[in-house]
Structure 1
């Protein structure tokens, strides 16, 4: 079956394309998988409150490898990259943590304030991403609406959760064309964990003020998130119960503006501060502990300026500056400035009344005050055909190059001792992506996929030798990746279905003879299938389910099978008597799969929850 699907995908050269989120007036419409909606049936977790990365592990475009759970410490990878290669973009700016990519997803923003994530790869990542080699997860700010909800939840493992969110919008303030909105959210959750010593204690506070008009939207955001969690063998293989305490603070200003005809610009500025307190053994905290604190400030702009004669300029630029204070990293390399500017002109040729050809060709320039600069080509050509029945066919071919520099954990620590050993000779990493495909969009179904070939040079990975598997060193690796993605969405009368298949094949070359294996870059699934469904059984009852099956690449550090099957089940009852009240029964890891997403680190267990939500 897998070989048949793979042959079909390659021969048809289908391109994968993520859609945008479509917002509806009532919850039933919002939760449906539409042709434009998110790529999973569920968008909320079972074991804690919602975060921007919740349920991404069931997204066919993303591989999420977690310690404890995704919302505790989730490594987000795209198309076989590693966690350091994935950027998180809000507005026009990529959020960043200079210590390690393990903390890229520490984003203290309520998902109610953001659109569903768009997965940027290839040309889009090269154009809009910042220091993200393979892909970016991109969010935009939602318009504020008057209303809110409160949620209370309980579950096994002594799980409890509380959450309140509310927004108010005042249109035509002082009879002007401007509207003012205010929105706030508080969430907390606690649990003993799905395995022993896997407890957590999370809190998040987020708020924003928004001013909108017919052609603009301005958001000022403040967010704070405090997390404590434990997990056996979280980072080390020595059978100890490790803990981590993380604090994330974010202030962000964002402005979107439409002007002239079909022209847009967006400005973003943020300040992020992140603190990390790691304890090797909770039973003996003085054995080893580490403290890190990072600060990042950034300015960014992106947009499209339309020109006469069917031409336009796509552009993006970001300036970022960081610092770090650490008890375990050296003192000589504790700050860095980053610069990137991308300019990609486009031209659209009309081939007929419903047919067009778009050409894009440009480049990006990356630089820092400590590393060599790099210029990268960004290019694609796209043929689009709209039929009389409103169906669409799109054929795309593209080539793009992206680049990044390594974080401080990889370059700033000891090079000769410790479990994780740095490498101060690491060079700038580069990734070339060649892609071709087709997208088919009909009234009741959609089919998207990609066939891509990517070659990464000087990729920073954590490697080890077979003689000492516990000592992991940051080293450059050259990897060639052949990948296929296929996703299909089908709408039925009372149900929506989404299915996907992803194939990855890697050819790696280590640059040091002492290296025998890779800890992260070669921890990937050659075959992965997802199946999601939303079934509206009756008006008051809906069933939502996400399934994922994977065949993981063999790894000598992994305990247990290399195959895994996960299920996230959600049953929602909406009260016909109390408007706004819904009761949700949810289960994650329904079959209590023990698969180690990170080799040597125990996988999560089964989590069950029952929650009541009241919306107004």
Structure 2
């Protein structure tokens, strides 16, 4: 079906990523808009801090309607971030211009030791936007930017049930550079740690992170040098296997990034990012008897990336992105003949804007992306979209768009580098490059006090790498390719009141799959998705010193042979913040996660998290 559309609609042309603030991206056509556009601001979740530890790149994404987060222990321990019914390895994490990467497995993609004060809110890219800038992430990318440093700081302490304790300090300072006009230098550092016995037995954790950044800001540029390190130990029963073992992970991530963003001419930017990432992992199948099975891995990734938007005229601009990645792995459980790979991606997306009259603009883009590695076949992908933006007489607006995008990626080393005849995690040497085609139509409405984003999409994944289970196999998981067709509906509404904000969403997914074999009894990932999902978030300020934030998520999950318990669930995250007027800068917070003690297995066969309550205090200056 999609290939027919590819021929019939060669001029599909802008992609406004539904539920994302893509207008902030350098490659978005709205930057050349000569029509002033209002925006109803608001996060996709009510809460902005986790309950059981310090914040990370995945915190609160479990209540974000744009993504489905499937966690082991808690989100900050080990989280699989899926977008639009994809799997965890279809999702990329982009900082600046670069997609950060782990060659062993997508389970570790989010092991990024950056303090949240240093980054913008998450911008979820799908469709043409993901095809333009995402690397080896065929369905979606969680993108964040480096933000300017401010002279500010905070110190936090917290305690809770399950012997939870937290300590955290953050500080930033900005100084003018002598007599140089409009140039500043900034420095910020952060140290965080948390520890608990866990919300269920053998679900303990011990985390710590240290990160720092130096920033040089000029009239038209921002340069950031960052280094961070993070150590995490956590346990969970049946973390990766359904064999009733108390499994553990001991992870160590180090990250060095240099990023430069330059603004020039009229509405033109380019950004260059370079990073080095090293990740060490120690997995133990049984904490009571580690000699049964344990694995050590070390991965190294070096990368350089560039992206930008060059506005040639008011009606024509060129969006572009390129990235090179070189990786390597040392492992006690993966074979030795596939331990390194080079990745290349280049994408170009010309953009044309037409003023139809005083209150309407038509924007269309048509381009392509080229993906290759030194070990796999290459792939050229078409990217295109078209959008019509209308500004009404009362300064409200609406945008309708049509988008078509192809993307591709190659499987990770765990899927192709281990044994294909036995072991806990059985690889598959016949796995090929995965290809995705996505067609969608969407409508966005902006009014003075509310906003609605909506989209209907149809995606076809060919040769998607999934992890499956057979009742006749001794392996916990086996890598298999599958062809999947996904139909989806997304609705997100934000309403702003005088002293409150309401965020609600509904998503629907329907899949049809073909594994090409009958020896599969359950899918851990590709067929682990909600048929229906509803979120409701509320931010309420009943008084100057009190703020209440609540996120709710209800889901009806697709049935799975390995799942114990019900296929539907209701999760609630509640935070009450008190800021005494007598103590400027002091916040006291009472927070609860999984308020109803829901036991739903987010990953089939893996126990769900329990209740967590915390009391914390933060002093800001």
Superposition TM-score tier, normalisation by shorter sequence? over 0.9
CA distance in 2, matches of 1:20, 1:400: 16
Superposition TM-score, scaled by structure 2 size: 0.94
Alignment of 1:255-266 (within 5 A): 255-266=260-271
Q: How much is the aligned-residue C-alpha RMSD, in angstroms?
A: 1.4
Q: Which residue of 1 aligns with 2:324?
A: 319
CA contact (8 A) 2:184 2:218 kept: yes
Matched, 1:168 2:173: yes
SS at match of 2:153: strand
CA distance in 2, matches of 1:615, 1:148: 6
Q: 1:580 aligns with which of 563, 566, 585?
A: 585
Q: Which residue of 2 aligns with 1:401?
A: 406
CA contact (8 A) 1:398 1:434 kept: yes
State the shift of 1:19 in Å.
2.7
Q: Alpha carbons of 1:550 and 1:260: their partners in 2 closer, same or farther (altered >3 Å)? A: same
State the shift of 1:305 in Å.
0.3
CA distance in 2, matches of 1:524, 1:53: 18
Q: Which residue of 2 aligns with 1:18?
A: 20
Divergent runs of 4+, >4 A: none
CA contact (8 A) 1:144 1:169 kept: yes
Write out per-residue CA displacement over residues 411-439 of structure 1, whole angstroms, 9 at most, x where no aligned residue: 00000001211011110000000000110
Q: Alpha carbons of 1:15 and 1:417: their partners in 2 closer, same or farther (altered >3 Å)? A: closer
Q: 2:557 aligns with which of 552, 577, 582?
A: 552
Moved more, 265-274 or 416-425: 416-425
Q: Which residue of 1 aligns with 2:203?
A: 198
CA contact (8 A) 2:361 2:390 kept: yes
Q: Alpha carbons of 1:130 and 1:416: their partners in 2 closer, same or farther (altered >3 Å)? A: same
Alignment of 1:350-361 (within 5 A): 350-361=355-366
CA distance in 2, matches of 1:453, 1:515: 25
Q: Which residue of 1 aligns with 2:419?
A: 414
Q: 1:615 aligns with which of 603, 611, 620?
A: 620
Q: 1:480 aligns with which of 482, 485, 490?
A: 485
Q: Which residue of 1 aligns with 2:145?
A: 140
Write out per-residue CA displacement over residues 391-422 of structure 1, whole angstroms, 9 at most, x where no aligned residue: 11000001000100000000000000012110
Q: 2:509 aligns with which of 501, 504, 509?
A: 504
CA distance in 2, matches of 1:587, 1:498: 19
Q: Alpha carbons of 1:187 and 1:20: their partners in 2 closer, same or farther (altered >3 Å)? A: farther
Q: Alpha carbons of 1:239 and 1:309: their partners in 2 closer, same or farther (altered >3 Å)? A: closer
Write out per-residue CA displacement over residues 353-400 of structure 1, whole angstroms, 9 at most, x where no aligned residue: 121100100000000000000000000000000112211100000100
CA distance in 1, matches of 2:610, 2:71: 12
CA distance in 1, matches of 2:444, 2:178: 44
Matched, 1:299 2:304: yes
Q: Which residue of 1 aligns with 2:526?
A: 521
Q: Which residue of 1 aligns with 2:7?
A: none
CA contact (8 A) 1:21 1:36 kept: no
Moved more, 283-292 or 144-153: 283-292
Matched, 1:452 2:457: yes
**Unpaired segments ≥5 residues, structure 1:** 1-13, 23-33
CA distance in 2, matches of 1:174, 1:49: 39
Q: Which residue of 2 aligns with 1:219?
A: 224
CA distance in 1, matches of 2:93, 2:175: 31
Q: Which residue of 2 aligns with 1:273?
A: 278
Q: Alpha carbons of 1:142 and 1:600: their partners in 2 closer, same or farther (altered >3 Å)? A: same
CA contact (8 A) 1:15 1:395 kept: no
Matched, 1:595 2:618: no
Write out per-residue CA displacement over residues 264-315 of structure 1, whole angstroms, 9 at most, x where no aligned residue: 0000000000000011111111221100000000000000001125100000
Aligned length: 592
Q: Which residue of 1 aligns with 2:567?
A: 562
CA distance in 2, matches of 1:144, 1:138: 19
SS at match of 2:445: strand
Alignment of 1:83-482 (within 5 A): 83-308=88-313, 310-468=315-473, 471-482=476-487
CA distance in 2, matches of 1:305, 1:445: 33
Moved more, 361-370 or 350-359: 350-359
State the shift of 1:562 in Å.
0.3
CA distance in 1, matches of 2:607, 2:434: 31
State the shift of 1:470 in Å.
5.2
